[in-house]
Structure 1
Amino acid sequence: MVRPACEDLPVVLDLRVCFLGESFVAGVGDQKCLGWAGRLAARATAAGQPLTYYNLGIRRENSTELRGRWEAECAPRLPAGADCRVVISTGVNDTQFENGRPRVDSAESVRNLAEILRRAREKGWQAMVVAPPPNVDDEHNARLLDLDVRYAELCEQAQAPYLRAHQPLRENQIWMRDIAAGDGYHPSATGYDEFAALLAPHWLLWLADPGSELPVVR
């Protein structure tokens, strides 16, 4: 059997993606143990884009805690020479009330995300940010919408793609019914299917061309 010349072999891209964030990234409540992050990784593979996927979500973590640990966890997973990406979604736990006030002030939330994006850029890692999703608490959602606007402004300045998924999910009856049937925050596999479907076209475009200008999620 004649072996093909090296130049005839297909080039396999070493694409590695770390998903950073809280319980929604980790997939809490999902009977399939995938969350929206695992579903996006599966869609990429199905679309012919193989990748190495790392889920680094931690339940109940806020953006200050994420800022303190993310780089050390990503560094061994995103080696030089690979196509290294990070997807970030944080903010729900920041805006939860504890002792009569949000766990993290919104200005600090923005500073935390800005620092993560700055360091990712310095490391040469492409970054994309996903908005924190809604829940059944209208007052909490109002705080999340305010943070959503701040995050969008920051990402525009940092030239990082930002997927404004909060409002579309709030208007999605399947998502809202699903979280209401559970703990008011976390969906089942059904809700995560909706979240991933909303993000998937933008995710696949970003994988193909991280420098492309993604359309706004509406």
Structure 2
Amino acid sequence: MSNWWYLAAPALPLLLPQAIWVKRTALRLPDAATPWQGLVPAPDGSVQAPLRLLLIGESTVAGVGVDCQQQALSGQLALQLARHLGRAVRWQAAGRNGAVAADCIRDLLPQVVDRQWDLALIVLGVNDTTHLTSRPRWRRHLQYLVEQLKDCTGQVMLTEVPPLGHFRALPQPLRGWFGLRAGLMNRDVQQVAAGQGAGYLSLDMPFEAAYLARDGYHPSAEGYRLWAAGIVRQLALSEPAASSVLGAG
């Protein structure tokens, strides 16, 4: 029996009705509008030798919470990387609202592995947490995603599982239990990153109302901007492998 079920079992009579209520009443926002790919010129207007950026994952890669991908994590990260590097960035978002890691393997990965990327971010964890994906299965899926992307990518990075304990749209004690489980799932992310030679990126943004969308669950445009800024800061300080990829022109 997993630690999660051992800890959650006494509260299941309360957690299950709360989970059903949240599923029925949660505000469901649409994906960001297309296009889900683009080219951000360098500050001097150059579009030569762009950094090839891929984001693959769940609803935040689909841009849920904002109107267009330029406001979402992919577009904001491309824009801020272009400014930071003084280099053009060609980006693509391969995301699905509600996706677990298995969905990415089956449906999203085949769309991107036939191309070459300089930097790929795997953005997953919320749905595997709430869908109660077992931790061994979660680790296997992450390992497979990293292995497949390493064959076509200069540097693969895994992002932190968002701290569901701070998601105000979730009632207590459900929020607390999901927050605990998200922390365990994030330990697995760090373990896989270390074992597979991938990078790890913490989620550096506040979870106050001003930085969340109307559903209280996904980032707002400002939240995505701050998240992207935190990623750029971490990449600038990351290990030589990532630095060499970002510096390659």
% of aligned pairs identical?
24
Partners of 1:209 and 1:157 lie apart in 2 by: 15
Which consecutive unaligned segments of at least 5 residues does structure 2 have?
Answer: 1-45, 169-174, 245-249
**Structure-1 residue corresponding to 2:242:** 210
Q: Do the aligned residues in 2 keep the contact of 1:25 with 1:89 (CA within 8 Å)? A: yes
Q: 1:53 aligns with which of 91, 95, 103?
A: 91
Which consecutive unaligned segments of at least 5 residues does structure 1 have?
Answer: 1-9, 213-218
Map 1:4-83 to 2 at 5 A: 12-33=48-69, 34-47=71-84, 48-76=86-114, 78-79=115-116
Map 1:131-146 to 2 at 5 A: 131-134=160-163, 135-136=167-168, 137-146=175-184
Counterpart of 1:35 in structure 2: which amino acid?
A
Quote the offset at 1:207 in angstroms.
11
Quote the offset at 1:180 in angstroms.
6.5
Map 1:78-157 to 2 at 5 A: 78-79=115-116, 84-97=118-131, 102=132, 104-134=133-163, 135-136=167-168, 137-157=175-195
Quote the offset at 1:118 in angstroms.
1.2
Change (3 A) 1:13 1:179: closer
SS at match of 1:18: strand
Partners of 1:117 and 1:157 lie apart in 2 by: 10
Q: Deviations over 1:80-134 (max 9, x none)?
A: xxx533111101011114xxxx1x2222111101011112223454211111223
The number of residues matched between the two structures is 188
SS at match of 2:195: helix
Per the normalisation by structure 2, the TM-score is 0.66
Q: Do the aligned residues in 2 keep the contact of 1:95 with 1:106 (CA within 8 Å)? A: no
Per the normalisation by structure 1, the TM-score is 0.75
Q: 1:196 aligns with which of 213, 218, 228?
A: 228
What is the CA RMSD across the aligned residues, in angstroms?
A: 2.7
Q: Do the aligned residues in 2 keep the contact of 1:18 with 1:55 (CA within 8 Å)? A: yes
Change (3 A) 1:160 1:64: same
Partners of 1:51 and 1:143 lie apart in 2 by: 35
Partners of 2:212 and 2:92 lie apart in 1 by: 29
Partners of 2:64 and 2:153 lie apart in 1 by: 30
Change (3 A) 1:114 1:185: same
Q: Deviations over 1:149-189 (max 9, x none)?
A: 11101111112110122xx54xx3xx232467732311221
